[in-house]
Amino acid sequence: MRSLPFSQSCENNKGPILEVLKTVFADCSGVLEIASGTGQHATWFAGHMAFLRWQPTEVPEAIDILRPRCDEYQGSNLLAPLALDVSKRPWQVGPLPDALFTANSLHIMPWSAVCELFAELAENAPQGMLLAVYGPFNYGGQYTSDSNADFDQWLAQRSPHSAIRDFEKVDALAIDAGFALQEDKAMPANNRLLVWRRR
């Protein structure tokens, strides 16, 4: 048996995230996932929400990490992974579905890429589209925990472009792109699940 790319944090958070997404995405039919990583989220969520067509994506240089787990998925509602770097617009992923999910990506990609993500949504997101974003955020310019402060320091050492984002700045991008916040849910390990809907 070959071993698949694995992330322990994905394994820990996929259950709690699923519990929220089952309600949030209940009336959706398709999800574009940005920055799918190892595919643990894509395969878990597609497997537990058979009513969704789940489209995993990754930057071209990381798509070989995503593909193996997706290849092993038993079912027809997980689409073949697509290459997508959100900063390379226009996105080549076809018409956007009625939902978008991304986990632990906004603090990794450069802020300019976060802006491009919302610029693309401003142009192409369908009315009513749900946007669910999981990860750590700062509020009022403050860390929400000591562990997030440590994590941010670690991110800065790893890349000058990575940083925990301010909720207010991301929300401002979402508002400019025509989205309104629906939910800001506290999740385990000082993470949040933010949900916006396009007006």
The three-state secondary structure class of 72 is coil
Q: Which is nearer to ligand SAM, 93 or 113 (CB)?
A: 113
What distance in Å separates the CA atoms of residue 101 and residue 95, rounded to the nearest whole number?
Answer: 15
Q: Which amino acid is at 6?
A: F
Q: Which amino acid is at 78?
A: L
Q: Which is nearer to ligand SAM, 27 or 72 (CB)?
A: 72
Q: Among residues 43, 55, 104, 138, which is the contact residue for ligand SAM, using CB under 6 A?
A: 104
Pairing of strands 191-198, 179-187: antiparallel
Pairing of strands 30-34, 53-55: parallel
Per-residue binder mask for ligand SAM (CB under 6 A), 135-154, x = binder? --------------------
Q: Among residues 58, 136, 173, 198, which is the contact residue for ligand SAM, using CB under 6 A?
A: 58
What distance in Å separates the CA atoms of residue 112 and residue 195, rounded to the nearest whole number?
Answer: 21
Note the Cα 80 to chain centre separation in Å.
Answer: 17
* Residue 182 binds ligand SAM, judged by CB under 6 A: no
- Smallest gap from Cβ 60 to ligand SAM, in A, equals 10
Which residues contact ligand SAM (rule: CB under 6 A)?
7, 10, 34-37, 41, 58-59, 62, 84-87, 103-105, 108-109, 113
